Structure formats: C-alpha cells, structure tokens
Structure 1
Amino acid sequence: MIFLKRNALQELLAWKNREDRKPLVLKGARQVGKTWLMREFGKNYYASFVYFNFDEEDELKSIFETNKSPERIIELLSLIAGEKILPEKTLVIFDEIQECPEALNALKYFREKANEYHVITAGSMLGTLLAQPKSYPVGMVNLLNIHPLTFDEFLSATDEPLYTYYLSIEKEQPIEAIFHTRLLDAYNSYLIIGGMPECVVSWVRYKDPKRVTQIQQELITIYENDFSKHNGKINSGRILMVFRSIVSQLAKPNEKFMYGAVREGGRARDFEEAIEWLVSAGMLNRVYNVSKMEHPLSAFDRLDCFKLFVFDTGLLKHMAGIDNSAILLKTDYQFKGPLTENYVLQQLRGQFDIAPRYFATGSGEIDFVLQHGTEIIPVEAKGGENKSAPSFKRYVSEAEPKHAIRFSKHGYLKNGRITNMPLYLVRKMKELL
C-alpha cells in the first residue's frame, strides 16, 4: 500500500482541535483525494469513523428528508453503521453530499444543536453548488479546499531522502550541485506526472509513463462527462468549449483569455457563466490583471481581463500534447512558458491570504503579483535559465520592492534586489522570504 503524505491532514487536525469547530465541507475537483483524506483522517485521529455515501446508498436520503433533529439522525445512522456514534470520538463522514441537499442543509442543525459530533463532508462539483448561497447553510460550516498533490507532497511520495533534504533548505542557503540536479529532475517529473493522486501512486508503483498518460486521459474524459451531466441552467456545451480552449488561450503571446478564441464572435455574456462554473468546480484557476501594483491588490482588479490555468499541471501537459522527451531533454519547446506559469500558480495557491494577480501594460508583463501583508511582491516564472524580462527588471529598479522573486532553473541566489529561487522551491516561497 502506497501512503501519500498530504499536507491537508494537518489542517484537518487543526480543525478537530478547534473550540469553535463547525461541520467541515471539503471542496475540490473530482479525484483529488477527498474521500481518501477523510477516511485516513478518521482512521488515524479518531477512535472510529463511520462512512456514508449518498451516491451509493439511496435510502440514506430518506433519513434527512424526514428528520431535522441531529440526535435522531445520529441514532438512525448508528443503526445503519452497526456501531454507536460517540461525540468527539467517532468521525461522521458524508461523501457525495451534493446528491442529498437535505443532508447538506442538516449540517446547520449539527452546528446549532449537536456540535459535539464531528462531521466532515465532501462531494464532487460541490464548489458549484456552494457558489449558490441558497443551497447550503452559509456561516454554519467550515470550508477547506483540497487540491492535487503539490510538489513537496509529490517529492515525499517519490523520493523520501530527497524530501528530507528539501525540508531542511533554509533562507538563502546555497544548494549543493548534486541536490540541485536531483531536485530539478524531480521538478521535470512533476511537470509530466502532475499531482493527481492516482497518477502519483501509479508512477511510484510502476514507473511507467504510458500508464500515467492513460490515467490522465481517463480523468479528462471523466471531467468532460461531468460537464454534460451537471443539471444547471448553464449550457454544458459552453463549459466544454471553454475547458477545451485553455491550451490555445495559454499558447497566445499574452495568454489573456479571449472569448473570441473559444468561438468566433464569442462574447463575455456567452461564456461568463461557464467560466464561473469551471472556477467554482475547482477545474480552472483564474488570475486577474491589476491596473496598479499597490496594496490592496483587489482594489485594482480589472475584472474583464484575466488568464485561466488548469488546476493540475500534469493534466495541462497532457491536454497540450507535449511529449515527455521535450520536457526531459530539450531546453526549449513550444508551450514551456505557460506550463511553467501553470506550475508556479499551482504551488503558490493557498500560501498567501490574497490570491495571486498579474500585471500587464503595453511595454511588458509581470507574471505574478503577490500581496504579503501590505507588501507587494513581483514574481517572474522562467522555464529555463534565461534572463529576466526587461519589464520585470524595470519595475524592480523603479519601485525598489523589499522582495522580488524570479523562479527559474538557476540555483538559489540573491542578485541585487532580485532573489532567484529554483522552480522546485515555489512551495517554500513564503517560508523563505
């Protein structure tokens, strides 16, 4: 059995120990490991856990349709599980909860009347449901986003000794050439395999890239089928068109999302809701352009100007049809820039309280702009060892920011105002500032 060390387990533990704990809802795209996480958490941190899946057990729904009392619900669930559900000691897991809106709504009663029971829930496409405020008990639940494995989690699964070294890297520490090379190799592997748990487990077990490619293809198919199954007012064909346009959107020189590139003559009103749906479902990450690089960043969002990235870099690499040899052997290949940016964004997610933005003017662009407290940090993402873009250098010399970060394949070094961090350190950026 291959064990994946997921950072989210620490967040789940923090939730368990909170005095003001509410029922917890896990959000995230399908197949990112939500079910595994809930069960693993129950197994390791509780005396026992009970698991209920609303997709597999239709008759469960009737319990929530006819009862509002948490005590009665717990009593009936104990009977079904064949064991007594104890406050504080038993973790109650509801999976695929989107199949039973009454159960989602019942979380409110657990919060108000029976908060001593630890309840955790998840479901595919839950994000799209939670985006409609009427559909769940706002303010009565805690929310936690679950993403594919980040680079550090991937490293811990694929090379434990190297992961131990990675954890020991400190601010401005020179990295020995042997470790730098090995970590860059691991970075290249991550671009190919990505962070979907099934892909990582398959890679650890078989080391067969063909199998990984097959899993990635199956995942894309599952997602595309999900679009057609969703039963909302948004046209599923448009969701599919937006999703399939991402590679060509990112391949354009400025990568900015263009409605006309989805369909000739396409307008915002045609595809806005489809984009919103994909972002809520956790399938795409949206990065807004800002008109000024100043605190607070969100005050300068240009809401009509954004880029869309795929939630997992391995899946984007597969969608773009990049051959593994290009990543492993060639220094340059088409789509290297967008793939690198997708990777950097995936690793930055959740590190800072404010989501990353980007800045673009006629004279150039800064890949990412981060807000850390009141400080604004320009970030450049380079797929190779090539030099900084003139627009990045110009901004740094004019604005003199406290930190300016350039991610590339170079070693870890500070050069004037710019700190170069190797691409494998993006996950440690905040810690190394």
Structure 2
Amino acid sequence: MSALPSLEEAQERLLALAPQPQVTMLGLSQATTKGYLAQDIVALRSQPAANLSAMDGYAISGPGPWRKVGESRAGAPFSGTLASGECVRISTGAVVPEGACSILIQENAMVDGDTLATAPGEQPPPAGRHFRRAGFDFRKGDIVLHKGTPLTPATVALAISAGHKALPIVARPSVAVLDCGDELVPVGDPAAVHQIPASNGVMLSWMLAPYIGEVDAILGPVADDPAALAMALRRAENCDILVTSGGASVGEHDLVRQALGDWGATIDFWKVALKPGKPLMVATRPRENGRLQIILGLPGNPVSSFVTAFLFALPLVRAALGAADPLPRAVTMKAGEALPATQKRREFLRGVCDGTSVRLAGSQDSSALGALAAADCLIDRLPDSPALAAGEPVRVFLLREG
C-alpha cells in the first residue's frame, strides 16, 4: 500500500488543478470582496509629480535673511521662481517653487513682517532638507503592483495614486457547497437525539465569503442516498469548484465517491496524512465548456471539515482568483504549555495565542465545535514529533490570515 500524500504534496496536486483564471475589469470607486491582480500594474504618472514640502515652514533660496514674496499651499502652488534671498510660506504637501534650496521649518523660523530669519541658535537647513523629491514613491512607467498581488485598501490606494480607475483582476470562480449525511437536519430545524444540525455547509460558505461573496449554492443537507446525491450534484453541474463535506470516508453509507464516479468525475487522490482530515478527496470532472470542474471532498466532522477547508479549500479559491501565493503562512511562537508527541500523521491542534505564545483551545476531538470557536490559530505538529515542553518554539497558522 502506497504512503498517503503529505500536506505539501496534496496541496501541490490540488493547486495544479485550479481553474484557469478569467480576467475582468474592476472599477475602484467601490469596495468589493477580496481579489487578485491578473496583470502587472504600471504607473501612469509619477508620485509626487513635483518636489513637495514635507513640513510646514518656508521655502528659502540662498543665504538669509529672506524676503517673503508669496505662499505655496497644497493645491495652490506659488507660480513664480524664487531668487536668492527670497522665500515663500509653504505648507506640508505643497509644491516647492522653482529656485528654492530647502525648507526652513516654522519652529526654527523668526518672522518680522515680510522678513524671515533663522531663530536664535538655529542654522539654515542644508540643501534639499525637508523635500519630498518628485517621483520618490514611484515614477511613470514603474511597475507598482505585480500580477497575483491581493487587493487591499493600501494596494487600491496605490493603484489610484498611480493613475488607475479600474484594474484587471481574475474573475471570481463559481463555487457550490454540499454537505451530506443521514444524521443532518436543515439549519434551524429540531434535531432528534440521533441527528445534528447541518452546520458545515454554512460554515464553509462563511469561510469562502471574503473571497467570493456568497457561494453560488449551498446544496444540502443531503441524505446518504444515491438518488438524492445525484440530484444535488446535477445542481452543481456548471460551477467551477464544488466543495463537499461528509460522505467520503470508508463507511458503507459514505456514497459521495460512487456518486461522483457515476457523475463522470475522476478521483485524483483520496486520503491525506493529516489529523484531523485524513479522508480528504480531490476529483475533477470535464464540462461542456471544456473547463475542468474541481471537486474537493472534505471530512464530515465539523473540526476536520474546518481544518481541511483552511488548508485546501481557501488556497484553491485563492489560486483560482490568481493569487501569487495562495497557501497560508506559518509563524513561530512559543508553546505556552507542554504538547504531546505525535504519531504517523501531521496534526493540527486548535489553539489560542497571545501574540508570542500559544496554548490548546480545549478538546481536540474532531467534533468539538466549542474549542474550534474559541481557537484563533492552528498549531502545526509534524509526524513522529517528540513531546514538546512549554517554552519551546512551535509553528502556528493564524486563522485570521485565512
């Protein structure tokens, strides 16, 4: 029997299947969900477009004292050229007039009518002091943002400053979510002792919403019945990505794999060396438009479903959106308590961190939603790791980073 793929191997295989990006233009006048640039973005103008003052004070020319001949304000520059011995009042962000050699800040200035001098004990500023040089941020023709860069408030502001009113981004993929199992009841319905509310489908849609908005369809809960599964799958025929939860394990009532095969899907791999999350499945299905549909089958236990969605579903959606770096990034913290040794599978423990150290959030059972809700990170424990003492370094994935 061949070894199960590692986390990195499984992620690589999944991301290699990500839908090919489709480009659309996004206007920048209104905020939207997260997106990624489909092309490099070149500056259409320089910033600043002229030398600007970095301080309130006086733009001076030559040695002092200086005669004040005008003012330069942000949005209303002085129109003339300074001769030696002249100055203008200037505000932060205002254009430095031609002929000025530096800015004498107002705290170091002494003014008598239209005559300016340095305050007692102060020296004239050296040439170029307190200038924001033209083009110091970027120049026309510079690449200011690279393909695959995420849209953020800062990158959008940079693009607007560089002269753009719209950006080419990767169009969001269409995504459907399906949760299945005889034990599931619809959200809000009464649950008998042998039943549980179907939380996974909604949970997954909330995880994906920052990237794609609302998912195109939440299909389920669907019973472990071939006809019901076939009907649900037909409703997902045209989506780019289908994320399922439950029904892909080894039980005789776990029917998703068979249903996918009957639907025309081909399993790429099934099972990964993870805890929780071993029964993860990846499949593809050809569509009439010639594009492959990607099917990601997650475990049914809610914690397992959450952890594998964090490690696989979110990276898949980010890759489909054109992200240059779709995988989550780990940080290193100190263990705030002793952590047990691991066995053959890589383990992701639910944790709570304080910025420098991390502790377990509570029960590590794969059905414990209370501990999951309390967690703000996943503690990454490699296979066959010895017990870890409090204070030792450990890798952590912050859940807020997605």
* TM-score between both structures, scaled by the size of structure 1: 0.25
Structure with bigger helix share is 1
Radius of gyration: which is bigger? 2
Structure with bigger strand share is 2
The answer to which structure, 1 or 2, has the higher relative contact order (CA under 8 A, 6+ apart) is 2
* TM-score between both structures, scaled by the size of structure 2: 0.27
